[in-house]
Structure 1
């Protein structure tokens, strides 16, 4: 897959789907001085992997592959080329050294593992995973006042599978963050531990 290197803060903006977002079209914008081209030199349209460069900025990830976006169109102005891209999915964080300043780098597709859920969509995460898990845990403790833990058997299997994937994602994401704050470490701590769940 083709790879584009961006600043750590820009990568995070893309991961959260907020990089100069046009809310009507759902498209984000990237600004470059060059047109995206395929291997034959033709205008490139399609998916690319974004990774952060080697700059070390506190609380942000360095040299991390983080998200796939799709280039849908480009518009050339007198000063720059505006790429209109759409969020596709997060990828499981992995290290990629800094690539070209102009043009695309390449990465073996086998290294890319697409995430099944947008873990950076906090509202969706709370609505579909964290919120329901907390509700079940609270209900169990209310029923069993003497209990200090909620057995994993109380939770739907599919919910646990997603919770484990969420834990794995944020655990690896945290490894790339330069000087994370205590709040960030806490936020990215395993959800299964946070809910004090254990196997029976």
Structure 2
């Protein structure tokens, strides 16, 4: 998908440092201080336009939420939504690449990771770019507390099947698997923009919760 250029994006982001962090590496080991509390930290990798992470922050004030997005032209949309929601104090947006998580967070600094409608990278030669590839699972395990969880949603069945195998091969424990989330929708489900779009078309939404096993 080609992203529309927004030449004003960087200036707009710089104008709201209380909501969007442009140099998150400076907060490594200091995220609880940034939020001013010791609440659990949940991170969404690939937060897109922010509907999910903002909705979660508003619904769960006792959890700190961080939405990570790589593209300026996308994360500014999330910032606009955060401003419309009066910048929840338990929310920060971060301009960063998901491959750089260990530069942003200390080992064990995060309690949960969300992966929502990630790029499926369908070609075999691009498998290492999938956010549920073994190399990314290692990154998540490093920043998560012992026994930390990954919550994953997608409309792409092949990516879902790949992710089930990848996590199982890594030794993770599958806690919950839904092949059609909206057939029995949990009351606390917060939808992403893509989830709304695909579910309205009648496409099944796949979801899983998995946990890193501690020895």
TM-score surpassing 0.5? no
Using the size of structure 2 for normalisation, the TM-score is 0.29
Using the size of structure 1 for normalisation, the TM-score is 0.30
For the pair shown, the structure with the greater C-alpha radius of gyration is: 1
- Relative to total residues, which structure has the larger helix share, 1 or 2? 2
